[in-house]
Amino acid sequence: MAPAVLIENLKKRYGTVEAVKDVSLQIEPGEIFGLLGPNGAGKTTTLRCLCTLSTPDAGRLEVSGISVLDQPRQVRQKLGYVAQEAAPDKVLTGRELLQLQTALYHLPRDYAKARLNQIIELLGLSEWADRRSGTYSGGIRKRLDLASGLLHQPDLLVLDEPTVGLDIESRSAIWQFLRQLKADGTTVLLTSHYLEEVDALADRVAIIDQGRVIAAGTPSDLKDKVGGDRITLRLREFTAPEEAEQAKTMLQALPFVQDIIINEVQGNSLNLVVDTQSDALLTIQQQLKESGLPLFGVSQSRPSLDDVYLAATGITLLDADIAAAASRDPKKEKKQAMKGS
């Protein structure tokens, strides 16, 4: 059986910006696959190339064995795409928008009517289907977006940030629906900023940074590769680089410390990987006290997907997003620099 999605050495440039430098992925039929990464990492560009909305500069892309570049029309019949920002006509009702979508897909009239009613029921839209979409909440609009992408019963559903900006109840409803889609055999490819969302939903995940895949595997495998517990400590609210380096040199000599990264974006905090069975926290506190170093705050936890990203890049996903936003806004960049000084 051909992979649901095959991407090999994808590259895409916009002017002087390399949005995607080299992305390779293989997604198997019937799994939920998550793309995780900060803003500007290349996630949306990858999806747009896969969904025939943007032409790559190089690379091989297939959906169920069909070439995206050579047979785009056949590929569109195989997939449904739900963009992060949808802009439905606010005057039309949800039902009218879905009827328009069935026409765009050239669905036979009798089938389209039955399928439209089925998808409205499936997504719990019966109460809102005949109301103007401009009156919908964010959660109901997202359900309508999903309905539009599923009307033609695609083998692959592609979602760009499916729950961004939604409340907890709406996000939970979307999660439950995606799990049901998987149980029914639909392959789901989604991007997300929410670590817990990818961790909870995805069978496998790829982390993208600066247009490249830096890690891929099941969430459990990726976290296991990081190894040990995570300890994050701050000597001061904003620690001087020299003091952070002094603490790093002292702590990395401890036998239970596997790795230490100084996180400059978070005020030169120290992120440690330590043996799970060790009494690390107490020993570290004693060592800092004996060395005359302060301790502003400390926490210990099991590895997360953010730790996977941190180990690969030296910063957290949140910090990467902040840095990306600052690079696009000189005022934010100045404010961030003042905060870290």
pLDDT digits (tens, 9 = 90+) for 145-168: 999 999 999 999 999 988 888 888
Contacts for 41 with CB less than 8 Å, ≥ 6 apart: 208, 209, 210, 211, 320
Q: Is residue 230 located within the same domain as residue 185? A: no
Tell me which amino acid residue 262 is: I
Taking the C-alpha atoms of residue 211 and residue 21, their distance in angstroms, rounded to an integer, is 5
pLDDT at position 332 is 47
Looking at every residue in the chain, the average pLDDT score rounds to: 89
Query: The pTM is what?
Result: 0.78
Query: Which of 217, 252, 270 is the C-terminal boundary of a domain?
Result: 217
Q: Is residue 134 located within the same domain as residue 77? A: yes
Taking the C-alpha atoms of residue 8 and residue 17, their distance in angstroms, rounded to an integer, is 20
Tell me which amino acid residue 264 is: E
pLDDT confidence bin for 340, thresholds 50/70/90: very low
**Is residue 286's pLDDT more than 90?**
yes
**Is residue 336's pLDDT more than 50?**
no
Q: Is residue 249 located within the same domain as residue 167? A: no
pLDDT at position 38 is 87
- Cβ(295)–Cβ(236) under 8 Å? no
Total count of domains within the chain: 2
Q: Which of 118-127, 158-167, 253-262, 328-337 has the lowest mean pLDDT?
A: 328-337
Q: Is residue 240 located within the same domain as residue 129? A: no
pLDDT at position 208 is 92
Residue with tokens 């109301």: 131
Query: Which of 217, 241, 257 is the C-terminal boundary of a domain?
Result: 217
| Strand 5-14 relative to strand 17-27, pairing | antiparallel
Calculate mean pLDDT across residues 237-256.
94
Residue with tokens 């669905």: 107
In CATH, what number is assigned to the domain containing residue 163? Answer: 3.40.50.300
Report residue 190: phi and psi, to 5°.
-135, 150
Q: Is residue 168 located within the same domain as residue 67? A: yes
- Cβ(234)–Cβ(298) under 8 Å? yes
Q: Is residue 183 located within the same domain as residue 83? A: yes
Q: Which of 221-225, 279-283, 324-328 has the lowest mean pLDDT?
A: 324-328
Domain that holds residue 180: 5-217
- Cβ(131)–Cβ(92) under 8 Å? no
Q: Is residue 293 located within the same domain as residue 264? A: yes
**Is residue 227's pLDDT more than 80?**
no
Q: Is residue 205 located within the same domain as residue 236? A: no
In CATH, what number is assigned to the domain containing residue 229? Answer: 3.30.70.100
Query: Which of 217, 241, 268 is the C-terminal boundary of a domain?
Result: 217
Q: Is residue 56 located within the same domain as residue 174? A: yes
Radius of gyration of the chain (CA): 23
pLDDT confidence bin for 266, thresholds 50/70/90: confident
Q: Is residue 13 located within the same domain as residue 123? A: yes
